[in-house]
Structure 1
Amino acid sequence: MRLRSEPCARRPCNTGTGDRMNWLLLRGLARQSEHWGDFPALLADAIPGDRVHLLDLPGTGARSHEASPDTIPAIRECVQAYARDLPTPMILVGLSLGGMVALDWACREPQDIAGVVAINSSSGWSPFWHRLKPDRWATVLGLLADSSVDRREAAILSLTSNSEHPPQLLEHWCELHHRLPVTRQTAIRQIRAAARYRPPPQPPNMPALIMASRADRLVNSRCSEKLATLWGCELADHSWAGHDLPLDDPQWVVARLAEFRHRMART
């Protein structure tokens, strides 16, 4: 693991050790909050006193009946509306597409946001062949065309994870889709939003952490490195996990988030 400790520009926050912080977790492309699995509970256990909240992006999970916008700012505006009754201050944590939403929120509407974390996200600052590895283009197109939920979910797990998982995990993912299906139209609109997104070149005025999986077989980790370099942010990278880093090594991610939280508390 490589850790760059240069902080982004930041604003004063009331994040002392005695202050409660709220974490908001945002999932990625065509995924819903239940795909976090046990990760939210692990994070809550690691930082006693803080609260962990989950929200679905439009078109997924509890919002599967809604149409997904096809731009990251519009998706972010929806999520902000969903979050209006959540307590603040918040640390945003987003995986992949969820990371883009978190970054856009932190940059554009930073009120009540104390920190932001993006995991295996990409942006328009990187070339398209880094944002989606060329040898995965056909796989992604095949996923959009496949009508079999079992095959599609198995392919997603194989594509995004580098670990072995019990069969119950795939069974649960299939059950989630049958119960709260993500439409092909939602997936396409989310892909369009992700493909066009470019965050501001200026870093958000708060602590920021970028996480990357060097063994990510979907998105080149150079995308995260590029963003961390551009913003002068802290970069933590993992040597063997796949795109779904919180699934492959949740304890490692929780440890990095706890360290991030403790550094915030000391500022």
Structure 2
Amino acid sequence: MHWILLRGLTREQSHWGEFPRLLADAFPEQHFHRVDLPGTGVHFNDPCPESIAAIRESVRHSVRHIPRPYSLLALSMGGMVALDWAQHALEGEIQNLVLINTSSGFSPPWHRMKPGAWPRIVRLLCRRELFDREADILRLSCNRPVSLQTMKHWYSIQRQRPVRRRTAWAQLKAAVAFRPLPDRPLTDALLLASEGDRIVHWKCSRVLEQRWQWTLKVHPSAGHDLPLDDPEWIIRQMKRWLPR
């Protein structure tokens, strides 16, 4: 099985840190592919579309060399792309769907982005000092202490493959406008949410659980960047859910 890993707003494949290696160790029969959204990572020079549907098609095009079917594991805005993909997939194209701290137009705006997060994120996107900006992003998205090494790593990523301001605003516009189709794309999906998320309310995942009778697991203390805060917890939930 080939897994496609999608990150969130202005983040790229290197921001996963050790998580892909931990996944590969936990599931040695599976293949995990970190894929960048347009305007980030290996595509940092490319323009970013202003809709989730167009971003989804760009991602599908970039993975056309990977054998189907796919399983999707996606965080935050990457989860919107993954959900939209599952709803527009060819028959049998998507086998498993794991969404982490994502949101959709099914939830109210004050849950999709908590009121206290809006001004901080706008200030971060406008901030010019790269190291301080990346350190503040980590402090906002993680609830566990972040090492100086991780801050330096994220700073290095932005120096090597800078995300343009126009990309950030295009992604924000796409995320704000995203509303899934009403029909359930898969019989089951695994929804992982963090009760301590200071950006997206965990109830955004509960809305999807209640609407489509999907499986929801809530971490009691982790932040928005659950793969950094507690990757082993994610792996435990996947091991329990995948044999369903």
TM-score by length of 1: 0.89
Given the superposition, is the C-alpha separation of residues 195 and 129 from structure 1 closer, same or farther in structure 2, using an over 3 Å criterion?
same
1:78 aligns with 2:55: no
Tell me which residue corresponds to 1:49: 29
Tell me which residue corresponds to 1:215: 196
Q: For 1:262, what is the secondary structure of its paired residue? A: coil
Q: 2-side partners of 1:24 and 1:92: how far apart?
A: 5
Q: Percent identical across equivalent pairs? A: 46
Tell me which residue corresponds to 2:243: 262
Q: 1-side partners of 2:103 and 2:90: how far apart?
A: 20
Q: 1-side partners of 2:125 and 2:19: how far apart?
A: 27
Q: 1-side partners of 2:236 and 2:145: how far apart?
A: 22
Structure 1 residue 110, shift from structure 2 partner: 4.1
> Which letter maps to 1:94?
A
Structure 1 residue 63, shift from structure 2 partner: 0.5
Structure 1 residue 140, shift from structure 2 partner: 1.1
Pairing partner for 1:128 from 95, 100, 109: 109
Q: Are the equivalent residues in 2 in contact too, given 1:115–1:206 (CA < 8 A)?
A: no
Q: Are the equivalent residues in 1 in contact too, given 2:139–2:146 (CA < 8 A)?
A: no
Cα offsets for 1:216-239 (capped at 9, x unmatched): 001111111111111111101100
Tell me which residue corresponds to 2:70: 90
> Which letter maps to 1:211?
L
TM-score by length of 2: 0.97
Tell me which residue corresponds to 2:4: 24
Cα offsets for 1:98-144 (capped at 9, x unmatched): 00000000111144210111100010111111111111111011012
Tell me which stretches of 4 or more aligned residues in structure 1 moved more than 3 Å: none
Q: For 2:10, what is the secondary structure of its paired residue? A: coil
Paired positions, count: 243
Tell me which residue corresponds to 1:15: none
Tell me the C-alpha RMSD between the 2 structures.
1.0
Q: 2-side partners of 1:64 and 1:105: how far apart?
A: 22
Q: What is the 5 A alignment of 1:1-267?
A: 21-111=1-91, 112-263=93-244
Q: Are the equivalent residues in 2 in contact too, given 1:201–1:230 (CA < 8 A)?
A: no
Q: 2-side partners of 1:32 and 1:237: how far apart?
A: 25
Cα offsets for 1:151-207 (capped at 9, x unmatched): 110110011000012210000000000000001110100000000001112211343
Q: For 2:67, what is the secondary structure of its paired residue? A: coil
> Which letter maps to 1:255?
R
Q: 2-side partners of 1:174 and 1:141: how far apart?
A: 19
Q: 2-side partners of 1:205 and 1:166: how far apart?
A: 38
Q: 2-side partners of 1:110 and 1:55: how far apart?
A: 20
- Any unmatched runs of 5+ in structure 1? 1-20
Structure 1 residue 24, shift from structure 2 partner: 0.9
Q: Are the equivalent residues in 1 in contact too, given 2:194–2:220 (CA < 8 A)?
A: yes
Q: 2-side partners of 1:240 and 1:49: how far apart?
A: 31
Q: 2-side partners of 1:206 and 1:30: how far apart?
A: 31
Q: For 1:75, what is the secondary structure of its paired residue? A: helix
- Any unmatched runs of 5+ in structure 2? none
